[in-house]
Each structure stands twice: as C-alpha cells, then as structure tokens.
Structure 1
Amino acid sequence: MGDHRSPSESDSPEDLLRTALDTFDDPFFVVDDDWRFIYVNDPARSFLAQSRGRELTVGEIEGLHLREVIPEAVGIPFYERYHEAMETGEAVTAEEYYEPLNSWFEVRAYPSETGLSVYLRDVTERHRRGEPIQERERVLREMYEVTADTERSFTEQVDALLEIGCDVLKTEFATLSRIRGDDYEFEIVRTPDGSIQPGDEVPLSATNCERTAATERTLVLADVVRDAPDLAEKAGYTEWGIACYLGAPVIVDGEVYGTFCFYDREPRAEEFSEWEVTLVDLVSQWLSYELTHQRTQEQLKRKNAQLEEFASLVSHDLRNPLNILDGWLELAQQSGEADHFDRCYRAIDRMDVLINELLALARAGERITDLQTVELADLVEESWQTVATANATLTVDTEQTIRADVNGLRQLFENLFRNGMEHGTTASRARSDAAFHESSNGRSGFGDQTEHRTDRVCFTVGDLDDGFYVEDDGPGIPPEERERVFEIGYSTAQGGTGFGLSIVRQIADAHGWDVSVVDGRDGGARFEFTRIERIHPAPAG
C-alpha cells in the first residue's frame, strides 16, 4: 500500500475524496465513459501492474484506456461485468476468477453519467476454503445422477460409481465383489491393465476383504504394512502388491454379500479423509439396498411363477386321484367289496402325498436366514433313518462341518434318498435278474438261488473341494435330462410326483448353493452341491 498524506484546509472536496480512497486496502479505480482511467488508488495500481507484468505508477496509468493497460481484458469476465453495468446503468456485483493473478475477486461496479467506479476485493482464501465443499457437492450430484439413471443397467451404474470413486480416492483399482464361502469372486471391476476380469475368483483368505467381511466394518488402510502388518503377509500384498486399501461391506438380507473396495499398489502419503471413507460407505449402503431390492424382486417373481405352477399342478394332479376316489367310492357303496375300498384309500394316500410335497415345495423356496453349525455326517445318518431304505446301503465319507438350515438340509437328503430308491430299485432289480439267470444257468435248485437275489441300491455321501455330493449306483440320469429333472412336476418314475428334486434345488438355492448332476463312479446319478460355507476345523463335541 502506498503512502497516504494527511488532508489540509486547502484541500478541495475532490482532493479530500481522493485522499479517503487512497486509504482503501482493496483495489479501487474509476474510468470515464470512454473507458479511460481517471482515478487509481495504490492497491489498484499494484493490481494493474501485476496484470500487465511490469511496474506502473499511478501517473502512468491515469489517462490510459482500459485496453492499453490490460490488452487481454476484452472477453474476460471482469470486462463483461464492467460493460454490463455501463449498458444497464445498474450496479453489478459478482465473483470472478482472474487467471493472470490466479486469484478470485469480488467485483462491484457502480455506473454513473460520467463513467464507472470499480471496487475489487480479493476472496481467494474464501474460495479455497469452499472448494472442497463444492467438489463434494459435485461428486454427490454425479453419484445421484448415476444411481437415478433408470436407463443404465445395474452393472453400468456400479461401473460408473467405481470410476467416480477411483477419481476421488486417486486409486487405480476398484471392485464390487461377491463372497461365497471361502471364495472371493470379482463381479464388477475397474483396473488399469485388465489384470482382473469379472468372474475371476481367488481365495477369500488371500484378500484384505476377508477382514472387512468378518468384522462387517469399513477397513481403512492408507499403508498396509504400517497400519496392518499381519495383512502384509497375505497374497494380496506379497503377490498382488496391494499397498493401500479402503473397503466397506455390502450387506444383503442381514448377511455379508461381498465388499465394495478401492486399492492401489502404492501406499498413500496421507490418510484417507473422513469424507473419502464416508463416500465409500454411502455407496456400499446404496449397493446393499439395491441388491436386497433385486433379490426381493427375484423372490417375488419366483413366488408368482410358483403360484401359477401350483395352480396348474393342483388342478391337474389332484384331479386324477379325486376322479378315481369318486368312481371307486360309488362302486364300493354299491358292491361293498374290500378291493373297491382299498382303491379309494390308495387314492386318498396319493392326494396326501401330493399335498405334503406341494407344501414342502412352497416352504423350500423361502430364503434361509437362520443358519446353524451342522456336522454333515451326523445329519446324513439322521436323514437316512427317516427314509424307507430296507433294500439300500449308505456310505458316509465326510467329516466336514458346514453352516446350513438343519430342517432344510435334512429334507434335501431325504428327497435325494427317496429319489434314488424310486429310480434305482427298478434298475437294481434288472441287474439282479440278470445275475440270477447267469448264476442259475446249468445249475439245479431254483430255490437256493432266490435268496441271493436283491433289489439293493447303494448310496455314498462324500466331500468336494467346496461342498459335498450324494451319489447312487442306480441307472443314472442322461445328460439331456439333467436340467429337466429339477423342473416341478417332471418325473420318469411311475407314480412319482415330480416334486422331490424340485424341492432339492429350491433348498440349495435358498442357501445360495449351486447344484448339478453328473455321472456317478458306478454309472449312477451324482448330485454335487458347491459354494458351501464350511467351518474349519470342525467344532469339538
């Protein structure tokens, strides 16, 4: 700021005004209606000199045209605001960025009949304090636009959110993952090099996300080695080089679905800010809501489809035994013969079976939330005792402990055993007949051979890498029928309801398991259940 002289009695009103304006700490200048400077205070002189890039005195500036002092003024926001005030005759107030000085100024321009008075105030510091808020508003607005865009698919929305997060957090990697038991599946990913693709799987134990899922809390690691040395021993650091990590759990129906996380191969110089952590938490909560909503919609669609199937099955399958009952009951009343009444009872038993299995099918599709620790071998043995298996054997080759709904899993095993008995007895009988005829060929004593004839079916329950299998030595299931056997009402067994294997699949689906049919070791059917949550080691006692 320049030197200020004290006013004297000889000063004119104009001199007094000039002296007062010289005391301003902010730039102030006046131009006439021809845009020539007629007054410039010292802060304005300094401002204009910096804009020009060389030292100027007040005397050198006054009398010059605005464009002579600032040649690039035309087109800049300041110049436009000055002209707006002169053209409208009304005062103009605005905040503008002035690039030559890398600063923000509040501009107030007051027009008069003879020119324009301009007052400038440096508000750069205030803008710098407000920039983070403005940036956060921009990010939140962009996120809202993504999540509200119904034209985008869920995958496209998540991909856009991952991109926003990478930009804000300055990380190269971002993923939405799905956790299935001991497996960590990359569902939607952003990487700089394509090293990770959707659908790739790694052991959950190798990732930092294992801790995020176990604690169901956001994990914040600006420097993995410094902040969590034990995690630096995992493959995520030793093999993949993940040096910083920020991840939040995604919860669906009260259970951990997976994680929403960002990471990089270099540790951060600064900690993740509270705003950055909050941003990831916000998106993870949206994902939790959206995935829960999707699951609810899928369940609703399945229920509606199931209701339609039930209506069809009830009208078709129950009508037959009802017609039979109606006809034979009339004959029984007329004749009083026991055989006619027996046929009526069999029709009633058939309806009872159909109704029970329809109810079981309805319950099987319900989402399971109350999982318990289950010793698999014990439950298999219990299930075996409830099925009529007089002509069958069971081998249990498992010691694993899993998390499951006890009642649902028991019904799954019971249905598989019954299904194997229904389909396997016929084939086993055919093998026994062939063996009998071969063994009796050329021998006497027919009665001695009949005691060796059997309709035995052999079952085996054993372990897979991520689940278990149930296998029989029956006729097996042809490849072209392996999907159809799970359809409601489909059965190749005489008198079968076609509900048993549908119930098995729905119980597996309700647990989040995969089920498939392959050839057994002895040519029978082998049902494999995978993506199962194991407990290691098995609890004692």
Structure 2
Amino acid sequence: MTDNEEPSPPRSGSAGTDEGSFLDPALLDRMTDAFFALDDEWRFTFLNGRGEAIVRDAAEEPVDGELVGRNIWELIPNAVDTTFHDNYVEAMETQSVVEFEAYYDPLEAWLDVRTYPSESGLSVFFRDVSDEHERREQLRSHEEALAAITETLAEPDQTFEERVSELLRVGVDMLDTEYGTLSRVRDDRYVFEIVHAPDDSVAAGDTVDLSTTNCERVVLTEQSLALSDVSDHPELADRAGNADWGISCYLGAPVRVNGSVYGTFCFYDRDPRGEGFDEWQVTLVELMAEWVSAELERQVIQEDLRRQNDRLEEFATIVSHDLRNPLAVAKGQTELAAEECDSEALEKAMRAQDRMERIISDVLTMAQSGTAVESPEQVDLSTVARDAWGTVDTADATLSAEDAPTLTADRSRLIQLLENLFRNAVEHGGDDVHVAVEAISGGFAVADDGPGIPEADREAVFDHGYSSRADGTGFGLSIVREIAEAHGWSVTAIESEQGGARFEFVDAGSV
C-alpha cells in the first residue's frame, strides 16, 4: 500500500489480519463472542454482528455507514489511554497474546477480552461478563464477611460485648446500613444493650416501648423480619420508632435463650433499599443471632454453675464444721463408754461413727474434685504413689511404682485419686493384695491382683453411690473419675494380667 492508497476492506466472505489467513464470516457471526479485526494502523478490517453492535454503542458519535476501514481510536476516542487501549498496543508491540478483564464505562459493562496479534494487525475477541463479575464480587464479599465473623468469634481475648460490637460492625458493612443493635426485651420495654451507630441518636442502655419498634414483630413471631422499604408496610410505617427515627429499611432476627425470646439482633437504615435484602444477607444475620443466643445461654449456664458451686462450698463448710464437730464428740463419748463396759452395741456404734467419718471425708473430697485443675505441675508419679500409699491402712499389701511416669498434675489431688484406688484394692483384694503403678502409652495405670471387677459392672463402678460392700460409701471410684476428668484424663476399668482390677488413665484428647 502506497501513501496515497486508501485502505480496502477484506474480500467479501472472508476476514483476517494475517496475510493469506482467512476466517469464515458466517462462522464468526454465529459466535457468542463479539469479534473484530484491525490492521496495523488500527483500522477495522472485519467485525461480526455482535462486535459491530458493541462498537457502534461505544462510539462517541452515531456512526453511519460501514465501520470497515474506520480507525478504532477515532470512532471511540474516549477509549484512548484506557486499559483497552494500553493492552491492544502492548499486544501489537510485543506480538504476544494479551488477555484481560476490565470495566468499560460507556457500555456500563465488564468485558473479558482476548487479543491475538500478527504482523499485519490484531484480532480481538470479547464478551460481556458483567453477570459473572457480579457473582464473583458477591462471592468475594461473602467470603470476606465470613472470614471477618470467624475471626471475631475465634478471638479469645475479647469480651462478649467486644465481639458482639465487632459482629454489628461487620453486619453494618455487609448490609450497607447505618445502625446495628443487640437489644433485650423486658416485659413491654425494649432495651438497647450493644449498639453500632454513626451518631448518638441511640446508645446502649436506652429504653423504648416495644410496641414502637419493628422488633416487636420479630419477638411475637419468633421469626426474622426483612423490610426493604418500611413505607410499603402501613401497619409498621406509622410506628413511632420508624416515624420519629426515620427508619426506612430493617432486617432483624430473634435471639433466644433457653427456648424463650431474649431480644433481637437487628440492622436498619434511614434510606430504603432498592433491591431489598437477599437470602444470603438474611441467613448471615440469623447465623450471627444464633451465635449470640448460644453465647448468652453459655453465660447463663456459667452463672448457674457459679451459684451451684457457691452452694456446694457452703454445704462443704457445714459438713466440715457442723457435722464433724458433733461426730467427734460422739466418738469420744462412745470410746469412754467402751472403756467402762464391754458392749457389742458400743462396738457397732463406733463402726458406724467410723463409716460416717469416711462418708464426710468423701463428700468433702467430692465437693472439690470436679473443679478443673488450674495450676498443674510436673510430678514424679512413683514418689506421689509412695506418699499416697503411706496414708492408707494397707496392712500387708505391697506396692510397686518404679515404672510410674512423670506427668503434669495437681499433686494433692493426684494423691487423693491414688488413695482411693489403693483403699479400694485393699478393701476388695485383701490385706496381702499387690498393687502396681506403671506407665502406659499416653498416661498411666494402677493394677492389682485381687478378685477384679465383673465386666458388666466396669462402667457402673464409677457412679456415685455404687459399692459392692455393705459398709462402703460408694464414693471412692466416683471421686477417682472426677479428679481424672478435672485433669483432662479419661479413666477405664479393665481386667489386669493377674485377673484383678486395672484402671487406665490417658489424656482424653488422645482417646
């Protein structure tokens, strides 16, 4: 082509940018992608039907006549210096395929573009991926919201109030609302407990009549409520809360504690929503409300346990002082009476008093055995076993503990555990029973060569009150289990190699 020659359109029925290479126009017109070809001076050499329609829509001025032979940058000057222009130029200069996705403002669309250069021009395939891009952005937004919520709930150093405040912030961002609140219903009053707001129009501690709020509907129905435009609901629009505060959209979910509605977890704004709240948004608010419900229930349970522990400590004090003192007097008087006369009735009384003392001692031990171990330390189990052995009336029984491991435990409570096992072995195995304390994988075991425990009873022996002896307290092995669980151990009763009883203790996390 000379300087004076005009560019000629491609041959009828063919299209291409490479000399001698042609594409069937009919095939290109059937493609779902838009397509156009440019020569090395940026002039159109071919456009399929979809490509021509998009180019005409993107042109700055209405275009009459053929597009072939027209310069793309003269037709669409507002595309110069955009991502499209820069990538087209890069493809031509590097003679490399360039693929990209970008938003084209004149078309208000996201386009997926693939460019294929040659020495004589450029072939461009592109398609509208606005719907796909919106779905990807929505998915990304969902993932970010879930990640933020998960991070908030997993933060161990934050208080309940701090985590709820962060959940409200995440919800406000996700829903694009101004306000988020956790509120509690007390009779006919609505109390704001935790608030996320752009101003001081509402704050934690504020109270309003429940009947003035949208939340009343949530409380009464115990179901979520989503209002994209409150004015579309006359029965709610006239409520003082909406009219006075200017609430125009609302999304709230019920918070339940122990089966009853505690209050609501809700978000609202002073502008209506054009597209409303979608199913994902409603579900996410419901999930956050469920977590708040579970956490509040946990707090209620903890408070109940605290009160129970307080009562248990009070009971232990009564047992320790108000029962042991008169029992000691009774024992002393019985012993004095026994010195003055030989009576079988006095012997029975002293045996009963001894049993009462053991029961009191076991009850006091149980009062603290279930409490979690707070400050465990490294202890040599062989040494602890010998110390515990020395506190029990073992008669001619024997102990071997040289194979016992070193473990992390509360020493005094571990001694209590072993004392109960040793006493149990002697009481059931006789004065000459042999007891062994040894290491096992993940823990330790205490075994004896006594009569053992029937297989059918090996679970029941740990129950409160279970005893195979008429004079037993039924607390010994239940204390063993509670002390073990307080350390995070599981305990299992099986048969020893000698046919006796064997108790195995391992970390519950490894079972």
The TM-score normalised by the length of structure 2 is 0.50
The TM-score normalised by the length of structure 1 is 0.47
